Amino acid sequence: MTHEERSETLKKIFSHKIPAVVMCRGLDAFPEMITHATESGIPILQTDTTTSDFMGEVIRWLNVQLAPRTTMHGVLVDVYGEGILIIGESGIGKSEVALELIKRGHRLIADDAVEIKRVSHETIVGSCPELIRYFIEVRGVGIINVEQMFGVQSVKEAQGIDLIIKFESWENGKQYDRLGLEAEYMDILGNQIVCHTIPVRPGRNLAMICESAAINRRQKKMGYNAAQDLSERIMGNIDS
């Protein structure tokens, strides 16, 4: 383009009040671009990354920032790489179980309030409000700063939610799932997340149950289902 054509074209572009112009691959802006950008009050940014890489990062970032979100009461922990959201009525022992899991080497993401974002059709990510990040309330003891007490290896900023464990008070006579052949799900922001209901009563090692649930979940992802394996063995024994 000639100087006049370029200037007129850029004037039309900047008249749309765009938020910013990004020059990729380290390219410098034309003098006419700087002139019209200054007149319009529109910043010009520069990056050494390629256009495709830059657009990919921007789209990924926007997907996270603009994702549908909600806040749930519960505790989110990283157990063997699996994000476990522990929910249940207040005072049932969610924070105490999280504290025991942290002592066993697992990591805390959020206690009490879990901010959840739906970043894709398959993935929801949980984090903690910055104001209460890495703090746990333990009834009878008070507030504990997990990061200060157990070190930075005991905490994590965000984690995808792979499994929900719901604590409820044990009810005599109620039938609880003992085999796990049919998975139960909970809907969060349109995503179906596997949910286990765990009855709580004195003497149950809930931290160990959470660990076992996390390992079992990983095995299922890798194609092994213990309940299905046992069922097939029993049916094979009956047939023989």
Catalytic residues: 73, 94, 112, 178
What do you get for the CA distance between the two ends of the chain, in Å? 84
Residue 41 C-beta-side C-alpha neighbours within 13 Å: 1
- List all residues 6 or more positions away from 170 whose beta carbon is below 8 Å from its beta carbon: 199, 200, 201
How far is residue 94's CA from residue 76's CA, in Å, rounded to a whole number? 10
* Residue 155 DSSP code: B
Residue 48 CA, chain-centre distance (Å), reads: 30
Furthest-apart CA atoms within the chain: distance in Å: 89
